Amino acid sequence: MSSIGTYKARQFNLSGLKGISDQTLEMHFKLYEGYVKETNRLTERISEFIQDGKVDQEEMPAYSEITRRLGFEFNGMVLHEYYFDNLKSGGGTGDPARSQQFYKATETSFGSYEIWKADFVGIGKMRGVGWAICYQNPSNGRLSNHWITLHEVGNVAGFDPILVMDVWEHAYLLDYKPADRPKYIEAFFSNINWDIVERRLRKDTGARSVSA
Ligand SMILES: [Fe+2]
């Protein structure tokens, strides 16, 4: 079969994080590889269904289920890549520098960095499994924080993920009790790679004219 659309699991070097063990990461990388594998497998299955140029009536239930599952697996793959990318091997500096564009963007969008953080952390503590994601609206540069259920419910179309935090229990269960998610969130913050966050921001949004 053709390899078009085949995704390869990426490698991440994240040893020595603060408060998130290498053992957790090893397990998490394996889970991520599972999402890549399933994304490829389901994409392949769908291509088989549509090979003859149509979806037959009797194929519709299986085709529908696989297509829905693809949304779950695909987002699971992509969000984990954002998550691992915004962590820094050896640990980070805690909060971003005041001079950083991201820090300024939180002030413009939320009034202050502290208020942005209270919202992001608050979302991270919500019950259920999913993600806390800070997005930037590419049309005006504003930041907003969102809760994503599982991997695929709640993502905002067209918005850019800027900071992505996994709050599924597998992200911290080897290091913390389920009720201690706040401690994991604290650990997450102490490992953020703010240079990556900074690079994800669009810098030209303020200058863009509405009619452009
Ligand atoms: Fe995860």
What are the pLDDT digits (tens) for 115-136? 999 999 999 999 999 999 999 9
pLDDT of residue 210: 40
Cα–Cα distance measured from residue 172 to residue 102, given in angstroms and rounded to the nearest whole number:
26
CA–centroid distance, residue 202 to ligand 1 (Å)? 26
CA–centroid distance, residue 140 to ligand 1 (Å)? 30
User: What single-letter amino acid sits at 80?
Assistant: H
Statement: residue 113 has pLDDT above 60: yes
Query: pTM of the predicted model, to two decimals?
Result: 0.93
CA–centroid distance, residue 38 to ligand 1 (Å)? 15
Statement: residue 1 has pLDDT above 70: no
CA–centroid distance, residue 126 to ligand 1 (Å)? 16
CA–centroid distance, residue 207 to ligand 1 (Å)? 36
Tokens of 34: 């599972």
DSSP secondary structure of the chain: ---TT---PPP---TT-SSS-HHHHHHHHHHHHHHHHHHHHHHHHHHHHTTTSS--GGGHHHHHHHHHHHHHHHHHHHHHHHHHHTB-TT---SSPPTTSHHHHHHHHHHSSHHHHHHHHHHHHTSSSSEEEEEEE-TTT--EEEEEEETTTBSPPTTPEEEEEEE-SGGGTTTTS-GGGHHHHHHHHHTTB-HHHHHHHS-SSGGG--TT-
CA–centroid distance, residue 86 to ligand 1 (Å)? 13
Section 171-188 average pLDDT: 97
CA–centroid distance, residue 77 to ligand 1 (Å)? 9
What value does the mean pLDDT of the chain take? 94
Section 44-55 average pLDDT: 94
CA–centroid distance, residue 150 to ligand 1 (Å)? 10
CA–centroid distance, residue 83 to ligand 1 (Å)? 8
Do the Cβ atoms of 68 and 39 come closer than 8 Å?
Answer: no
HSE (side-chain half, CA atoms, 13 Å) at 43: 15
CA–centroid distance, residue 206 to ligand 1 (Å)? 34
Confidence of residue 4 (pLDDT cuts 50, 70, 90): low
CA–centroid distance, residue 32 to ligand 1 (Å)? 7
Share of the chain above pLDDT 70, in %: 94
Q: What is the residue whose two structure tokens read 């994409």?
A: 43
Statement: residue 204 has pLDDT above 80: no
